[in-house]
Structure 1
Amino acid sequence: MKPNPQLLKFIEPYDEHIQNLALELRNFITDLVPEANELIWDNYNAVAMAYSKSEKLKDAFCHIAIYSGHVNFGFNRGAELTKTSIKLNGKGKLIRHLSVKDFQSFPKEEIQSMIWEAVGISENLNSALIDKKSQPKSIVMSISEKKIRPGNKTSG
């Protein structure tokens, strides 16, 4: 699935390295789970994409959040992952993430197995997602009026 033109517009204010890193991480997910929908938020403090076999955030298995100096690669139910040799950050009830500065050092093999476990967790919570083979969609969920972006403190 090609990047949504609106997503490309949302990430324009970010440094080219951050844009490329976000798109590489995005491609990593969409190549691995090609049937996943991409849910996009142009939020106040970050651009975020969640990946779900449905069109609902509650079914998402992982996500990407773009900030000015790094990109977070996260798991929506990361606290429930068992097959992790990677230390994920986060103190909340469920969400865990890894801060990524470059794609070369991104632990692709370990993350790949974690993604498959996360997909399984999502499918266990919603059995309608099992063997779902629909055409993936890239959907803009919301656009914040005011935003903090590189180069300007706030816009909107």
Structure 2
Amino acid sequence: MVNILDRISWVLGKIATYMATIILVSVFFVISAGIICRFTSLRISWTEELARWGLISLTYVGASAALRNKQHVGVNFVVNALPAKIAKIVTGLAYIAVMVTVSYFFFNSLEAALKATRIRGDIIPLSLKYVKLLLPMSFFMMFFHLAWGLSTLFGAKSVDGKTIGL
């Protein structure tokens, strides 16, 4: 079971990393195009909206990639100071609490995305459903990263390297 979750989490982590890279590079070029157009007196209004959508997407997709790669900041000195058994219990409860939170946000963001079908962008007449679907997708990936992290905690003797953050 741990190997299956590890493989799924690894693949989703790679997908999130590549998506975040593509979104970041795209936002860079969109913003650069907007800046260049302003200096040449061309008024391209869609760059601001597209950049906003990209940055919002980058936040959530990047958070998923950071979760898989253990790059989130964590305050682990309290957990590391506890006895090994209690530290594992506290870390397990933290994983479960974050999994419940991620599940809550997944379902609410999915509902919001599906309800946004008829809502269009202010400048780009594209349904916001497509932009908003990146949020539940990111929470879905985060859930698998957390499930993998929790499964690795069961066989571990200590919580070193097994907590959610660094």
Relative to the length of structure 1, the TM-score reads 0.26
More helix by share: 2
Task: Give 1 or 2 for the bigger CA radius of gyration.
Answer: 2
More strand by share: 1
Relative to the length of structure 2, the TM-score reads 0.25
